Amino acid sequence: MMALGFLSVLSAGLLMGILHAFDPDHVMTMSSLGARPDARGATARYAVSWGVGHGGILVIAALALLLFDVPMPETLPKGAERFVGVILIAAGGSLALALWRSRGGDQPPSSLRSKAPFLIGMVHGTAGSAAVFALLPIGLLSPLLGVLYVLVFSSGVLIGMMGFGHGLDRVQTLIATQARTLDKPLRGSVAVLAIGMGSYWLVGA
C-alpha cells in the first residue's frame, strides 16, 4: 500500500513537472531564444539544455538539503526570481537586435548562445517558485525518496520543455516556408512580449 502511495506521489510529481515547464517565463524565454534568426531548428536542442540546467540545480539543492542538511540560502531563490526578469529583457532585446542584423541571412549559433539555455535553466530552477514547488513534498519522505521525487519532477520538466521546443521548431519551419511575410513580424512580437514580461516581472518580484 505504501509503495502504491509513493508511486502516486511520483506520478503526480511527473505531471507537475510537465505542467511546470509551461510556466509563462519559461515559455517566453525559450521562445525568445528559439526565435533568433541564427537558431532555426535549434529550439528542441535548447529545450534539452534548459531542462538539464533546471533539473540539475534542483537535484543539487535536494541532495544538499536532504543528505547533508544544507538548505539553500533564502536570499538565493529570491535573487534568482528577480534575475528571471533581467533574462527576459535581455533575451527580448537580443532577439530584436538579431532580427535587425539578419538581413544577410541566418548564422550558426555561437558557443556562448549554445550554453545560454543551460545557464538560464539553472536560474529558473533556483528561482523561488520553482524550488518551493519541487521541494515541497519531500518533508514527508525519506531523504533518498525525496531526491527520487525531485528527479522525477525534473524529468517531467524536461519532457514538457522538449515537447514545447519540438513544437516551436515545427511551427517556425511552417511559417518560414508557408507564410514567410509573417516570419519577422511574429519574431519581433516575441521580442516585444519578452521585454514587456521581463519589465513586469522585475516590478512584481
DSSP string for residues in 13-26: HHHHHHHHTT-HHH
Range of the domain at 182: 11-204
Residue 183 to residues 45, 139, 156, 171, 195, Cα–Cα distance (Å): 21, 48, 31, 10, 19
Q: Write out the three cell numbers for 25.
A: 517565463
**Rounded Cα distance, 120 and 57, in Å:** 11
| Dihedrals phi, psi of 62, to nearest 5 degrees | -65, -45
**Rounded Cα distance, 76 and 143, in Å:** 22
Domain assignment of residue 69, yes or no: yes
Domain assignment of residue 23, yes or no: yes
Domain assignment of residue 4, yes or no: no
Domain assignment of residue 1, yes or no: no
Domain assignment of residue 3, yes or no: no
Could you say which DSSP state residue 35 is in? T
Mean pLDDT by runs of 10 across the 205 residues of the chain is 74 93 96 85 91 94 86 86 96 92 60 80 83 59 83 96 95 89 92 97 84
Question: For residues 135 and 58, is the Cβ–Cβ distance under 8 A?
Answer: yes
Question: For residues 150 and 138, is the Cβ–Cβ distance under 8 A?
Answer: yes
Which residue type sits at 99? L
How many distinct structural domains can be found in the chain?
1
Question: For residues 124 and 25, is the Cβ–Cβ distance under 8 A?
Answer: yes
Domain assignment of residue 40, yes or no: yes
Exposed e or buried b for every residue in 166-175, given b needs 16+ CB within 10 A?
A: eebbeebeee
Which residue is it, cell 540560502? 73
Distance of CA 7 to the CA centre of its chain: 26
Domain assignment of residue 25, yes or no: yes
**Rounded Cα distance, 10 and 144, in Å:** 13
**Rounded Cα distance, 8 and 205, in Å:** 33
Domain assignment of residue 2, yes or no: no
